[in-house]
Amino acid sequence: MREICAEIEADRETLRQTMETQGFESLVLADPAGRIVLATDEPVAIEVLTALRSRGVRIALDDFGTGYSSLSYLNQFPVDIVKIDRTFVANLGRDSVSEIIVTAVVQLAHALHMSVIAEGIETTEQHHTVTGLGCDSSQGFYFAPPMPGNNVETLLQTGAGVGGPRLPRTEHKPDDRT
């Protein structure tokens, strides 16, 4: 069996209901962050992800470019978001190959009507670089450390204070994927 890693944007109840109605409860392991690992055969994984997507869950391919996040997954699985692994972001400005890879991933994902998130943003320069290369969103310690969901809601309502987290100012692009 292979593991297929995806990150989902949905609450646990939606995930539980979808898995229950599709009969796939035992195939999904979910951690508190909403990340799922499907340890099953590809046809079953495709069926599970397609069922989740039909319920409005957006599927993200996490740590793209490393480990199990293979280029072939973009063709095999119903993916909405590609998350570029932090190792490529960390080398931006120091390694021209990383910039070429990030640019290629962004162009490929956009051509497939997928959004792109750059992981591991830690500096202003990295944020400006990935935004300039076309990434739709960014995440990392530059903006804020990991925090519970209720803290994120508070942060978004009150805004970032002086010396506090930085909220990204990238524009949201509508998803035109069919």
Give the ranges where the chain is alpha helix by DSSP (H): 12-22, 42-54, 73-76, 86-90, 96-111, 124-132, 149-158
Half-sphere exposure of 133 toward its Cβ, with a 13 Å CA cutoff?
Answer: 30
> Which residue in 99, 119, 122, 171 is the catalytic one?
119
Task: For residue 86, give the nearest of 139, 152, 9 by alpha carbon.
Answer: 139
Contacts of 170 (CB under 8 A, 6+ apart): 131, 135, 136, 137, 138
Q: How far apart are CA 126 and CA 29, in angstroms?
A: 33
Amino acid identity, position 169 = R
User: Is the Cβ–Cβ distance between 114 and 97 less than 8 Å?
Assistant: no
- Annotated active-site residue 119? The verdict is yes
Which residues are annotated as catalytic? 119
